[in-house]
Structure 1
């Protein structure tokens, strides 16, 4: 096995059942949906209704944005989704029975919440890119989010092996000084790079600030070019576009509900096509996954997990995983049609990426969690025997200016608010980083009050220009 380049694309807030539950028929070999799974909706008036999983047969913008409005994804929301405790009064283990109850208890929004929305799943023909790659290479039905938490904690796990004890995006806890896998790679003489669209969530990690100009690159400007030139680093981490932007007439491609998943499909295709046509394809491992389930239904209960260690300021021990998320493993070292599972009882999670990098490049573990994580090398073939399709064609649906204009007038979602907050904490190019970190530690983090996505997007762009030293 001769893997020299690991590439990770992490999208947003979709469960395994939502995206890939119907990839194959449910069986002992594939733990997908049977089509009969359900939750009971306990209405506030005391009545009940069974809500089953379902699909929208239409392939239009409305169907591709389900669920709308956005489900709850804070720690307390996820506890109800997994355990159903608040809805049923029970104290037992995970039932995966509280998704509908939690969704219908979210603050009122427009459009009004439909109890079926979080039980929705896509069929392979509706998400053809990720489905084709899963079939052409491999999919894991044993990959969980690292914690039953929001985006930031789970993204911290993939970079640092810990969430530093925090379970939600907010309140902000700058500076985030955890040691990262990027620092370990650098110390071992290995290269790394973060490719991003508007602002990378990983930029919140202060130990990366000294490497800004070398290692943070705009995806559109550099990824395909670097892949074609054979100059991708040992480890590439790709972050999607989180904001709509009127100046470039673009919509988010992160797949965060209710963002249209077709734009995420196009991003997946562009990443694969760049790698597949590049000179380093035979030595590349691509992992496509999602940070957390985002409130979308999944039927598999999270198993126990090894706590990473350290403080737990929010009172959670990180002793069990989050909900399952999609994970597609793409490489010439993956047999077509593979369903990839670890050999032991511990499932794959985001720290399996750290374990894989550690094993490939001779690194030390960051925490007890990634030390216990199964790596991906054990499920790969010894020799590169699967080139896969020469290219993947994604449905082309360029957004109209009117659609983008409408999107930028909406209020920012929780993730967008947290990213706008992150932008405000960044040092400007040339600033003394140590002094900046000390200042962040001495005062509470300011939180912006942007009324619209457009305002937040413009502010983030300005902060990133100052951070990168661009006009």
Structure 2
């Protein structure tokens, strides 16, 4: 067993309702041998407050004062009102339409998107997208104050929007009521989906060697000496009320050539087409956003070495390989998102390898192939499932309701699976999608953790009717896997804990506090 993750603080309080009042790690030495299958379901782009801010017993919006939530302008002054929602709250052709003019002079506070006396947009309506990028996220967090989300957003007031959910409107809410909801779980890396998917599988940040002499030179961000703040363009509006910020270069790479915002896989399916006259299984390396193959150690490598079976089930993977027009398409279902497939960036999983054929599997349209494996009791010991784009809950190209209902249906199949009695399911979101959350992330390393996101632990072993306040981030999933199968921790797990401790905090938990074993 991996002793590094043994908890030093005891579980102190468990009240009669099942709500945990423990702080920090609160974990204990648990025997995980009864766990035979770990399933990870990875949705998209929602902060905790955005979906679960009113959840009973959780650290939600009921604990937020007006002073806690107010947003500041770029010069450090309090905004008199929130900026208008740039371009409107709903996109062209979306009904009901909420235009930018309808969003002026909103109070400087959180607001319910589905408020019947306000915008009255239910979870089934697709809204506009928001900035969710590496440097911008840090600037919005503002050292843990979370008071500059509106200042450094391209969407104005929309960052402060949330839903008033309950078990009748959000299927996963009802499931959370039966099992464990973690309310102190953070996205592992600042920014967006690309980087957080990498941290899900390797706890590492990809690199682009010699980017400054490559076709990607123009993607290198212009950053201030603090290493956190983007350099503003001279034409950038001084106030958030005057317009969205403009930057000298908010690129996809750091000045020292780490890939932090969306880069494309070097292998198909990739948004970048194959090289002209070259191998059709590859993405054109001559395009600036094609990331060179990565060679860091990922969780699949550790599982292979330990002879633990595993698979990544990409929703609509085979369809995307066969029909390029569905890739990153706002008009065609399944709207397959290539940067949501993290293992497709690694050299040891390149096309033609046995490793790829065994472990990168088609999840099927609407998850049909993944569900087929569930129903047959044929899941490997570790499974990752990524829903296709129109079912992943990402603002700007889908709604919340469709994806939430899909994941709830997958969970229902898991509960009926022959493997259920020995299974632990973790459902979480890759990142906040740009939405505000009131809880300050713990101070870690250069890469994160970032904003708080929802996470559910669903299992026969999960504590029932339980809100887990233990400190977690996305890497806690890797910690659970490495602990269960006695694997050495990935380097990023060690460095993350060292940074948390050096900054006066504590190591991340490994989700065992959500389990009764």
Partner of 2:437: 298
Task: Say whether the 8 Å CA contact 1:180–1:207 is kept in structure 2.
Answer: no
Distance 2:159 2:513 in 1: 37
1:368/1:196 CA distance change after superposition, 3 Å = closer
Distance 2:79 2:442 in 1: 32
Correspondence list, 1:16-415, <5 A: 16-24=48-56, 30-34=58-62, 36-37=65-66, 38-40=69-71, 42=73, 48-49=80-81, 50-55=107-112, 56-57=114-115, 62-64=121-123, 68-83=127-142, 93-103=143-153, 106=154, 113=155, 115-116=157-158, 118-125=160-167, 127-164=169-206, 165-170=258-263, 171-199=289-317, 200-202=340-342, 203-209=344-350, 210=353, 211-219=355-363, 220-242=367-389, 252-258=390-396, 259-305=398-444, 307=445, 317-318=446-447, 320-342=448-470, 347-369=471-493, 372=497, 373-382=508-517
Distance 1:47 1:278 in 2: 52
Correspondence list, 1:451-466, <5 A: none
Distance 1:207 1:276 in 2: 34
Distance 1:60 1:275 in 2: 36
Shift of 1:334: 1.2
Shift of 1:117: 5.4
Correspondence list, 1:409-428, <5 A: none
Normalising to structure 2: TM-score of the pair?
0.61
Per-residue deviation, residues 405-456 of structure 1 (Å, max 9, x unmatched): xxxxxxxxxxxxxxxxxxxxxxxxxxxxxxxxxxxxxxxxxxxxxxxxxxxx
Distance 2:515 2:203 in 1: 23
Distance 1:76 1:117 in 2: 16
1:47/1:280 CA distance change after superposition, 3 Å = closer
Shift of 1:368: 4.0
Shift of 1:115: 1.6
Partner of 1:404: none
Per-residue deviation, residues 162-208 of structure 1 (Å, max 9, x unmatched): 12343212444321222210111111111111111234522223322
Distance 1:7 1:186 in 2: 17
Task: Say whether the 8 Å CA contact 1:71–1:118 is kept in structure 2.
Answer: no
Per-residue deviation, residues 282-327 of structure 1 (Å, max 9, x unmatched): 100000001110110100111122x4xxxxxxxxx22x41000110
What secondary structure does 1:48 align onto?
coil
Distance 2:513 2:383 in 1: 21
Please identify, of 167-176 and 277-286, the stretch whose mean Cα deviation from structure 2 is larger: 167-176
Shift of 1:65: 6.3
1:133/1:64 CA distance change after superposition, 3 Å = same
What secondary structure does 1:276 align onto?
helix
Per-residue deviation, residues 36-62 of structure 1 (Å, max 9, x unmatched): 553336499996214222222359994
1:149/1:117 CA distance change after superposition, 3 Å = closer
Distance 2:345 2:290 in 1: 10
Distance 1:115 1:267 in 2: 29
Per-residue deviation, residues 252-302 of structure 1 (Å, max 9, x unmatched): 111111321111112211221111001111100000001110110100111
**Structure 1 stretches of 5 or more lacking a match?**
84-92, 107-112, 243-251, 308-316, 383-471
Shift of 1:365: 1.1
1:117/1:363 CA distance change after superposition, 3 Å = closer
What secondary structure does 1:279 align onto?
coil
Shift of 1:370: 5.3
Task: Say whether the 8 Å CA contact 2:150–2:156 is kept in structure 1.
Answer: no
Task: Say whether the 8 Å CA contact 2:172–2:405 is kept in structure 1.
Answer: no
Task: Say whether the 8 Å CA contact 2:159–2:434 is kept in structure 1.
Answer: no
RMSD of Structure 2 on Structure 1 (CA): 2.6
Normalising to structure 1: TM-score of the pair?
0.66
Task: Say whether the 8 Å CA contact 1:36–1:52 is kept in structure 2.
Answer: no
Please identify, of 61-70 and 184-193, the stretch whose mean Cα deviation from structure 2 is larger: 61-70
